[in-house]
């Protein structure tokens, strides 16, 4: 934390239950009115959810333990996934003094990476089922997957499945993207 703060940066960290004191400090704040809140709808990957972020100022005891700590955050997601209801709350801490809307954009941005790159690599490319036990081989294959994913994004595909279908038999076009700057890359038809 000290290095982050000393270099003039901030942090936004998920708080898990293995940090019971901090987790409970944030959970107990949910009975007091937040200083900010914002809601949004989230759909995709077989779910539909209503999300609500709430923000509170961090209390003095936790500020003393966490360098730079400014705010507690809760994000409650309620909805339905594959026909089953869910209601989940995630807690965060941040060194930033931002509005609920700004913090929601940062959290959603991080989740977008999780839900696009990581979900795609796991579901579409079955990365978790690869079966490689040698770490060097697994690393090399992960690099190739990341390269392919990024090349398809550069080519304008929002869906890896669509990109693989369109470019699978035209690997020379993907290699052509390697020599282009991102500004010159375009979607091949």
pLDDT tens-digit readout, 151-184:
777 777 777 778 878 877 777 776 777 776 555 5
Mean pLDDT of 15-33: 89
Amino acid 89: pLDDT: 94
According to the model, what pLDDT value does residue 183 have?
52
Torsion sign, CA atoms 125, 130, 133, 134: negative
State yes or no: pLDDT of 134 exceeds 60.
yes
Residue 23 in contact with residue 72, Cβ under 8 Å?
no
pLDDT at 133 over 80: no
């Amino acid at each position: 934390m000290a290095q982050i703060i000393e270099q003039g940066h901030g942090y936004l960290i998920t708080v898990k239950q293995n940090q019971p004191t901090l987790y409970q400090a944030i959970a107990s704040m949910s009975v007091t009115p937040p200083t900010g809140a914002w809601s949004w709808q989230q759909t995709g990957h077989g779910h539909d959810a209503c999300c609500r972020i709430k923000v509170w100022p961090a209390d003095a005891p936790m500020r003393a333990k966490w360098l730079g700590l400014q705010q507690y955050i809760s994000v409650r997601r309620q909805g339905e996934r594959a026909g089953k209801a869910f209601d989940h709350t995630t807690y965060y801490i941040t060194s930033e003094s931002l509005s609920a809307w700004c913090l929601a954009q940062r959290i959603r941005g991080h989740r977008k990476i999780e839900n696009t790159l990581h979900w795609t690599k796991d579901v579409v490319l079955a990365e978790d089922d690869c079966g490689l036990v040698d770490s060097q081989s697994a690393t090399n294959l992960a690099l190739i997957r990341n390269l392919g994913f990024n090349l398809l994004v550069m080519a304008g595909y929002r869906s890896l499945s669509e990109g693989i279908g369109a470019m699978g038999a035209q690997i020379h076009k993907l290699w052509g993207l390697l020599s282009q700057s991102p500004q010159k890359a375009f979607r091949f038809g």
